Structures are given as C-alpha cells and as structure tokens.
Amino acid sequence: MNVGIVGIGNMGFSIAGRLRELGWPLAVRDIDPKREADARTIGAHVCADAADVGVRSDCVIVCVVDAAQTDAVLFGERGAAGALAAGAAVMLCPTIAPDDTERFADALEARGIACLDAPMSGGPARARDGSMSLMLACADAVFARHRGLVEAMSSQVFRVGTNPGDGARTKLVNNLLAGINLAGACEVMALAERLGLDGARTLAVIEQSSGQSWIASDRLRRALAGDFAPRAHTTLLAKDTRLAIEAARTAGFDAVLGAQAAAQFARACEHGFEALDDASLLAWFRHGAVPR
C-alpha cells in the first residue's frame, strides 16, 4: 500500500520516520521547506501539493493542525480528495470538532473514499516508536482493509466505534482531562515553589504518590529545567480544550473544571506563551507575565 502524509510537523514527521523505517512507500507534503528536506533524508517522496500526494497514495494521513487546514488540504485547490482514486482512504489525525469530522467523512464518502477517524495522543517520541494511542472510528470493512497500516503506526489502537466522529469525541474527552491535569500540575508546582519547596524534589514525590499524572511527568521535568521548547504548542491545548468545552455545551453538559483549564490556556496564549510548549503554563502561574 502506498501511503501519503499531508502535514509533517512534530507528529507527522515522527509517523513518517516510523513508516519509512518499516519499509512503507511514502509521499509527503508540508508548507515548511525544512520539514520537506528532512523527509527526503528518510527516503520519503516530497510532493508539490496535496493533490500530488493523493495521486501517489492508497491512503492519505492528514496530520495538520485544525479543521480549516484539513478542509484546505482535502477539498481546497489542488486538494488530496480530488486526486484520490475511488476505493482509496483518508485517515484524519488532527484534533477537530466531531461535526467537522462527520462533514469531512460524508464529503469523502460521496467521492467513493473511505474515512478513518483516527485522532492520536502521546507526543512525537511515542509516535516515532509506535506506542502512541490511536482512537479509531471507522467501518469494520475499512479497518480490515487498512489494519496493516494502522498497526504499523501504533501498538495502542483503540476501536472506539464504527462511525466517524466518535474518534474525535473520544480525543476531546481525553484532551480535556489532559488539560485539566496539566493545568493542575503547573498550578501546584508554582504553589510548591512559592511555599519554598524545591520543584524537582516535589515532582519526584508527586510521581510516586496520589497526585501523579502522565502529562505532568512528561512535561514538568523539562519545564522545571527551564526548557519550554515546543513539543506541543500551548495553542494546541488551548484549541483542544476549547473544542471540548464547545462539545460539552452542545451536549448540555457543564464542564466546570474543564472550562477553568481551558480559560488558563487561552489566557496564556493571549499573554505571549502561544508558541512555547504547553508546559509553559508553569511560567504563567509563576509570574502571570510574558517570559522575556
């Protein structure tokens, strides 16, 4: 099977590296020439646009940021959907609203193209080693046809339903909890420091105690060392938590803690933390000011 990836940022490039290491033929496209140059070094074919990726692929993995970018790379000028053959497939990996996922799936189905709703979680390192989580919603026949690719991408595949949109819903629930956990962890670490405690020692205690969370352990070690280089930009978790709160409101659910976390990520972005790692929320809670 020939595979394409549109969007080879942190996650997309990690997936590309894994698939190439396993011998999959790969065509890629990104708006960043450096990313494309990096892709050449691992043996991927760099395409001129998303349509070229579609021509060369049996399945196109979309790894862009949001619904607007997804719409553009699939259905915009020189989009992939218009170039894919009937019977091909698109795997949607961005965190987007369920309504958008359903809309894209319907538009693809009208063209005879299958849709795998497959949001991912775990970060670039786990995408590279194949241990990230994939929350997969698609028809059983579509999964059977693309099972080899899905399982090459991840050893942690969760079939959450057969209807596209359920993967997106699962991802929003997961990311809202991730946002709550990270916001809470950053707040209590800032509190620990204000109380005169050593941050690293306090985190070591938390990691072996009832306050432990995966995202705190993953983010805060480097944050405490002053490393806010973006592995996952603050803007992404701000977007994801906002989408989750919107989905909750649509369902008539008042997500009180989630709304508080979402507000903190939004405020951090408004005050200059948007391009930093999402663990920069620690700096926001420490100072409430833009880092210089």
Residue at 292 is within a domain: no
Same-domain check for residues 146 and 211: no
Q: Is residue 149 included in any domain, yes or no?
A: yes
Instruction: Note whether 76 and 145 are same-domain residues.
Output: yes
Residues 6 or more apart in contact with residue 86 via CB below 8 angstroms = 111, 112, 113
Q: Are residues 205 and 149 in the same domain?
A: no
pLDDT of residue 220: 95
Assign residue 208 the CATH number of its domain. 1.10.1040.10
Residue 227 CB neighbour total at 10 angstroms: 12
What contacts 262, CB < 8 A, 6 or more positions away? 176, 179, 238, 241, 242, 244, 245
Judgement on whether residues 150 and 187 belong to the same structural domain of the protein: no
**Residues 105 and 230 placed together within one structural domain of the fold:** no
When divided into structural domains, the chain yields a total of 2
> Is position 206 within any domain?
yes
Residue 248: give the domain boundaries: 169-287
State the angle between helix axes of 166-194 and 234-250 in degrees (0 to 180), rounded to the nearest 10.
120
Give the pLDDT confidence score for residue 288 in this predicted structure: 65
Give the pLDDT of residue 289: 44
Q: Residue 154 is part of a domain; what is its CATH number?
A: 3.40.50.720
Same domain assignment for residues 91 and 34: yes
Residue 163, helix vs strand vs coil? coil
Residue from 20, 171, 239, 242 carrying the catalytic annotation: 171
Give yes or no: residues 53 and 180 share one domain. Answer: no
- Each of the 292 residues of the chain gets a pLDDT tens digit; together they read 999 999 999 999 999 999 999 999 999 999 999 999 999 999 999 999 999 999 999 999 999 999 999 999 999 999 999 999 999 999 999 999 999 999 999 999 999 999 999 999 998 999 999 999 999 999 999 999 999 999 999 999 999 999 999 999 999 999 999 999 999 999 999 999 999 999 999 999 999 999 999 999 999 999 999 999 998 899 999 999 999 999 999 999 999 999 999 999 999 999 999 999 999 999 999 986 444 3
**Residue 30 covered by a domain:** yes
* Domain shared by 113 and 23, yes or no: yes
Q: Read off the pTM.
A: 0.91
Active site residue 239: no
pLDDT score, position 287: 82
- Do 112 and 48 lie in a common domain? yes
Angle between helices 256-268 and 234-250 (to 10 degrees): 150
